[in-house]
């Protein structure tokens, strides 16, 4: 999948600006599904009508900041208190779907990075005094070893005083006929 280039906020379309205000994965899932369904089935009326009293739609659309503004920018209009309707004059394209998908991916990436930062910050903040003491001792040991220089020394040849220490079997008395 192609990644969208990051544009300065001043170059973002109104739809992209509205999508940046949405902070819910469930909302992005609904927006993506609704947009894709309308783009793939432009004449099917069941995809051009959202019941706002539906619990799932209500939780993901009406209560989340930026969701209604996004749908309005996509062309949806309120029909009474209960429905959002996409007029026949509005055509949803795959460009709209890609915009929603790109915003969803950016939101997920940002959420993952925020989680990593929280985990990293929590792991660095050790409040256990024993753990703090052990970390300090490990760091002191590391500094001490570094100041002593390398642990290993280069090898050097050692001269033997008597030359080689090899004996033959005869010198050891092996394979000699018995004397006598």
pTM of the model: 0.63
Task: Give buried/exposed letters for 114-147 (b at 16+ CB in 10 A, else e).
Answer: eeeeeeeeeeeeeeeeeeeeeeeeeeeeeeeeee
pLDDT at 171: 77
pLDDT at 7: 57
Q: Three-class SS of residue 77?
A: strand
Chunked mean pLDDT (size 10), the chain, 180 residues = 60 91 94 96 94 93 93 94 93 95 95 90 73 89 84 72 71 74
pLDDT at 87: 95
- Let me know: does 34 contact 50? Beta carbons within 8 Å: yes
For 103-109, which contacts have Cβ atoms below 8 Å and span 24 or more sequence positions?
103/16, 103/19, 103/20, 103/22, 103/28, 104/25, 104/28, 104/29, 104/31, 104/32, 105/3, 106/4, 106/20, 107/22, 107/23, 107/25, 107/28, 108/25
Beta carbons within 10 angstroms of residue 168's beta carbon: 8
- The full length of the chain comes to 180
């Amino acid at each position: 999948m192609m990644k969208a280039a990051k544009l300065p906020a001043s170059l973002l379309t109104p739809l992209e600006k509205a999508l940046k205000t949405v902070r819910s994965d469930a909302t992005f899932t609904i927006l993506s599904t609704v947009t894709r369904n309308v783009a793939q089935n432009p004449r099917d009326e069941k995809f051009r009508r959202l019941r706002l009293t539906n619990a799932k739609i209500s939780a993901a659309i009406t209560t989340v900041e930026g969701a209604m503004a996004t749908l309005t920018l996509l062309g949806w209009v309120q029909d009474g208190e209960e429905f959002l309707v996409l007029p026949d004059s509005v055509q949803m394209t795959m460009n709209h779907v890609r915009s929603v998908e790109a915003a969803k991916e950016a939101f997920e990436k940002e959420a993952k990075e925020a989680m990593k930062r929280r985990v990293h910050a929590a792991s660095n903040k050790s409040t256990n005094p024993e753990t703090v003491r052990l970390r300090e001792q490990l760091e002191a040991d590391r500094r001490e070893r570094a100041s002593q220089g390398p642990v290993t020394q280069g090898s050097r040849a050692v001269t033997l005083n008597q030359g080689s220490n090899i004996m033959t079997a005869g010198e050891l008395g092996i394979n000699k006929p018995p004397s006598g």
